[in-house]
Structure 1
């Protein structure tokens, strides 16, 4: 029986730059950072309060996971902004939005009242969109 999800993948254009973004701008912690067989880099980050769910920052390149053609297609989709990095929760969307703006995070929608709470929409440094959500209580 499956009991939880341990990892989710975010495809990025450059792992070093993505690590800097997720660590220094969003405030995530580094989980693992290691070279695996075949030159594959296993790089994970997580929000400080939720180490049980780690995000894999995966750079698509030819190797054990992707053919050259598949890696190029995925990189093209990343560059087009076709992927989402997920929904990041916060207790105060407006405050977190203001803090992230000062750190250089780009937003495509400011905090807006929604049926489920307050949501802002941002972009990581690869162009992946993410929601920043404060749920209604």
Structure 2
């Protein structure tokens, strides 16, 4: 049986710009960077080094050539934050495109766009 989500593959046009966005703007950490010396490079990022789930930034163009059958669109991700209002204001101050805060039955939610205009959501957790 599956017990957790280990990694999420995020296919991006520019790995360096994506790494900069996720680390500088969102506050993720680089867990590892690998390059097989044959053009395949991947960057593992996560909210903390101890996180159970990480995001792997892959070169979209290279993956499309290697595996044309894959869906290379951005996944629809919902992040959680105990510092919801602080995160919202931090993203605004870093000129990240953010949506309005919406009150849902499960709590407050907002969305934000990455450097390639893919949208992700954040839900407040207590």
After TM superposition, give the deviation of residue 2 of structure 1 in Å: 3.2
Alignment of 1:12-27 (within 5 A): 12-27=12-27
CA gap of 1:69–1:56, structure 2 versus 1, over 3 A, is closer
| Structure 2 equivalent of residue 93 of structure 1 | 84
Q: Deviations over 1:56-97 (max 9, x none)?
A: 1112123xx4327939x94xxx5xxxx345111111322210
| Structure 2 equivalent of residue 121 of structure 1 | 111
Unmatched tracts of structure 1, length 5 or more: none
Please, what is the CA RMSD of the aligned residues?
Answer: 2.4
Contact 2:42 2:59 in 1 (8 A): no
| Count of residues paired in the alignment | 125
Q: Which runs of 4+ in 1 moved over 6 A?
A: none
| Structure 1 equivalent of residue 35 of structure 2 | 35
After TM superposition, give the deviation of residue 42 of structure 1 in Å: 1.6
Contact 1:89 1:133 in 2 (8 A): yes
Task: Give the Cα–Cα distance (whole angstroms) in 2 for the partners of residues 85 and 41 of structure 1.
Answer: 23
After TM superposition, give the deviation of residue 8 of structure 1 in Å: 0.6
Are 2:115 and 1:105 equivalent residues in the alignment? no
After TM superposition, give the deviation of residue 118 of structure 1 in Å: 0.3
- For normalisation by structure 2, the TM-score amounts to 0.84
- For normalisation by structure 1, the TM-score amounts to 0.78
